[in-house]
């Protein structure tokens, strides 16, 4: 049987590098396209160390259609895993046009070449930010369902995800694309090798690497953005899924689409653990995992922050018998081992 070839956009980034490793280890050939705008070559070297060989890699911006086309000419792709995003919520609020240009325009160039070269299968990295979280602020919130209303997004980053989900819906209906939207809820922690992890050289955007940098004394304290939300302890609440569990679901999604007999298909799935945790609870759990103090300060609310962001995970479990396996304690310990290493 011919080995399947998969294009992975931004495969040098935090989550996507894990996808390269997982799909290569599962027997697929991956080809990485990354402009290194939000990643660095050290991650590529670490992928090489984990696998024992170099996956093919091209430093290309998706908006450069001519260079991207050369990659499509060279390989006969069976699939695309599309991860090429700028993804910092706060930055998208400050630079919305930059996010629309990178996330939307780059994706359209990719979709155009997929259609031109008859590559119709795509797993799309979507986000919890597509949901209308304002609705949940006003109700007895039990977790977002895939069938719930999307749109009315709270930041430009979420808007790019919402728009692209709708574009892919039309491409499925009118251009015979097979699409799975995977809506992420805070992927965190490290690969078991401790070689790839979310370890930004600049100030972290996400809670987990920020906490680890404080524990490692790289940063003096953690900012907790207000403590008067209507939650269990006043801090905002999120769900955190181990990145290895998250990538395992991408393999499941791939198998789902591989076994379909439809001329076109689209579906969406929430990816999370089903266990939400507040900022203060995460601080306490991190103290136990690292045996370090985590000093923090209460900072003013930010306009884009939402009190509670979590979902109902039953659809993924019922359709593919998938659920997150890694306990929070183990994930935290893996992250701390990365820093010690």
| Token output for 320 | 């593919």
* Beta bridge partner(s), residue 125: 182
Q: Could you give the CA distance from residue 62 to residue 106 in angstroms, rounded to a whole number?
A: 5
- What is the chain's alpha carbon radius of gyration, rounded to the nearest angstrom? 19
Q: Could you give the CA distance from residue 221 to residue 296 in angstroms, rounded to a whole number?
A: 5
Please indicate whether residue 117 is annotated as part of the active site.
Answer: no
Give the burial class of 220: count Cβ atoms within 10 A of its Cβ; 0-12 exposed, 13-18 middle, 19 or more buried. Answer: exposed
Q: Could you give the CA distance from residue 223 to residue 301 in angstroms, rounded to a whole number?
A: 10
| Token output for 186 | 């805070």
Question: Which position among 157, 229, 254, 339 bears the catalytic label?
Answer: 157
Length of the chain equals 341
Question: Would you put residue 321 in left (φ > 0), alpha (ψ -120 to 50) or beta?
Answer: left
Alpha carbon 311 to its chain's center: 15
Count helices and strands (H / E) in the chain.
13, 14
Q: Which position has the token pair 């979280």?
A: 133
Query: Is residue 6 helix, strand or coil?
Result: strand
Q: From start to end of 63-108, where are the E strands?
A: 79-82
Per-residue CA distances from 97 to 7, 69, 101, 104, 335 (Å)? 27, 25, 6, 10, 34
Q: What is the DSSP string of 74-135?
A: H---SEEEE------HHHHHH-HHHHIIIIIIHHHHHHHHHHHTT--EEEEEEEGGGB-HHH
Q: Which residues are catalytic?
A: 157
């Amino acid at each position: 049987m011919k080995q399947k070839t998969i294009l992975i956009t931004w495969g040098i980034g935090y989550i996507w590098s894990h996808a390269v490793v997982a799909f290569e280890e599962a027997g697929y050939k991956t080809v990485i396209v990354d402009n290194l705008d939000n990643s660095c070559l050290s991650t590529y070297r670490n992928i090489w160390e984990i696998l024992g060989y170099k996956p093919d890699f091209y430093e290309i911006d998706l908006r450069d259609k001519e260079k991207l086309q050369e990659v499509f000419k060279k390989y006969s792709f069976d699939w695309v895993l599309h991860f090429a995003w700028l993804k910092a919520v706060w930055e998208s609020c400050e630079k919305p046009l930059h996010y629309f240009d990178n996330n939307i325009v780059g994706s359209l160039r990719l979709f155009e070449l997929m259609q031109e070269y008859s590559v119709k299968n795509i797993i799309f990295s979507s986000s919890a930010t597509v949901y209308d979280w304002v609705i949940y602020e006003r109700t007895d919130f039990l977790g977002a369902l895939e069938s719930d209303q999307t749109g009315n997004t709270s930041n430009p980053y979420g808007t790019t995800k919402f728009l692209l989900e709708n574009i892919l819906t039309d491409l499925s209906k009118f251009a015979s694309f097979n699409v799975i939207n995977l809506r992420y809820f805070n992927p965190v922690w490290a690969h078991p090798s401790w070689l790839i992890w979310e370890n930004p050289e600049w100030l972290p955007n996400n809670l987990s690497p920020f906490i680890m940098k404080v524990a490692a004394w790289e940063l003096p304290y953690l900012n907790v953005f207000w403590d008067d939300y209507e939650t269990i302890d006043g801090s905002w609440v999120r769900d955190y899924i181990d990145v290895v569990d998250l990538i395992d679901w991408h393999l499941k999604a791939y198998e789902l689409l591989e076994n379909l007999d439809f001329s076109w298909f689209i579906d969406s799935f929430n990816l999370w653990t089903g266990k939400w945790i507040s900022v203060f609870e995460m601080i306490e759990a991190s103290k136990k995992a690292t045996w370090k103090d985590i000093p923090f300060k209460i900072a003013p609310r930010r306009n884009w922050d939402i009190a509670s962001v979590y979902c109902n995970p039953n659809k993924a479990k019922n359709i593919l018998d998938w659920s997150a396996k890694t306990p929070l304690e183990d994930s935290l310990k893996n992250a701390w081992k990365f820093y010690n290493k």
